[in-house]
A and B are shown apart, each in its own frame.
Chain A
Amino acid sequence: MNKIFALAGVVIKELYRRKDFYVLFVLTAVLTFAASAVNFFQDEKIIRYVKDICLLLIWISSLVIAIVTTARQIPAEREARTIFPLLAKPVSRAQVIAGKFLGCWLAAGIALVVFYFFFAVIASSREHTWPVVMYFQAAWMQWCLLAVVIALVLLGSIYFAAPSSTSTISFIVVAGIMLVGGHLNTIALSQPEPMQSVLAGVYYFIPHLEWYYLSDFVVYNMGCVSWVKILAATLYAAAWTGIFLTLAWLGFRRKNLTT
């Protein structure tokens, strides 16, 4: 376990020593502030609108950070050849995968805490309420989703050597699931037969990332989601993360690293 934490530590260290991470951080902070400054009138509709945009911004930024960081990890190790002195030590390839995953996930978690803190301060200063539990649920769900995404990107980065292609494909997959994944079953009903079964099959077969976007709750202050649902969603995310990490390990386990 210490080996996995040591590997994760290197991932996090790299992130805060690279400038691009800060750029995104500062950009989101500035935009969030700007968006809130637009709102001179205490109009409820406008406040909702601003909150909606800010949440979307947080979502996109954290996805960018998670995907871009993760896609780079293993290819960079191979490019710089640091994977060789590393694997020459008593560490298994499974531990390398686990360490990379943990590092990226913790880094994403740190980013989320900062983002949601900004958001909570701004939203609450307008609305004069502090629905802390609700914010926690929203952030937690997003962190669960990022676990699935990071595991998926790690899997992709083993098969596609170029981090840019891994990132692009991951973005398309994640955005696709978020936008249409939840509607596939309804779309299926309006289709002729072979297509209907295929779409319905796909619906049951993909990780439903769209469940993790709690923006409506936050925007309309709808109160908390039941903890049972949160727990179920957490377990569902854990299962998908496990599946993707296992597939990543299977691909990496026998990979000839010199080609």
Chain B
Amino acid sequence: MTTILQTEKLRVEYRSRDFRQTTKVALVGLDLEVRAGEVFGFLGPNGAGKTTTMNVLLGFVPPTSGTGRLFGIDVRQPIARQRIGYLPEQTYYYKFLTAEELLRFYAKIFGLAYAEMDKRITNLLKLVELEHAAKRPIKSYSKGMQQRVGLAQALINNPDLLVLDEPTSGLDPLGRMKVREIIQRLKNEGKTVFFSSHELGEVETICDRVAIIHQGELKAVGSVAEISAGHENLEKAFLKIVGFQPSPLLP
């Protein structure tokens, strides 16, 4: 099986700009490998380095050392991003545009032909159930609606690899189910999905493999069954792996 996404000994240090010049190590030699056609869950507690990893893969943060590759191309080359779709965490899209205009703008960035553009935009708006709001400015959208615009925007180029940073955050149960359905559908179409999440229940149902990181280090990687072996469920295994001690009950 071909490797679609790969990091090798990835290390990222953030240097603070104050006079002490303290450095914060966000990733410590991370090795990851995501293969073609799998749905890969990227787990870890808050501040573990999930977003940082994605930021390196997308070229926003230069690695201190080590490399990242997409489709075998070093992430420092913009061309590595031609076939990916990315959903960032908490983004406020251009408020003054409508969803339709936003998608059209991104479609132009990908250089899609006009006929193809219209077809995709209509389909995507239907997919994320925003047809009724397509002609309203995004500033009038609820949080969940904005998240769904984000998902539509990540799919505009019909990507082979999706990088989704907490795709279900801010969504109601119905919305979450829809996102799970969309991920499932993408998988059936042969796409690769790499996403981070705190919802271990949903990770259990849709992921082929998962990785757990903690304080910038890879702690476990494998199928859900492998990781939760010997534990009640994935959540218990996760808590054990990140070293969570249940606190004694208060008197």
Contact = CB atoms under 8 A, between A and B. Distances in A.
Interface of A: 2-3, 5-7, 9-10, 13-14, 17-18, 80-82, 84-92, 254, 256-259
A84 B101 contact: no
B108 interface: yes
Nearest to A92: B78
B158 interface: no
B141 interface: no
Interface residues of B, number: 37
A14 B96 contact: yes
Interface in B97-112: 97, 101, 105-106, 108-111
B187 interface: no
Nearest to B165: A84
Contact of B92 (A80, A92, A259): A80
B79 A84 contact: no
A2 B111 contact: yes
B86 interface: yes
Contacts of B67: none
B71 interface: no
A87 B58 contact: yes
Contact of A90 (B82, B90, B95): B82
A92 B58 CA distance: 12
A90 B109 contact: yes
Contacts of B101: 13
22 contacts: A2-B108, A3-B109, A6-B105, A13-B97, A13-B101, A17-B137, A18-B96, A80-B92, A80-B93, A81-B90, A81-B92, A82-B94, A84-B86, A85-B106, A88-B81, A89-B106, A89-B110, A91-B78, A256-B62, A258-B55, A258-B60, A259-B17
Given A80-B92, A81-B88, A3 B81 contact: no
A85 B163 CA distance: 11
A151 B150 CA distance: 31
Given A3-B109, A88-B86, A89-B106, A81 B91 contact: yes
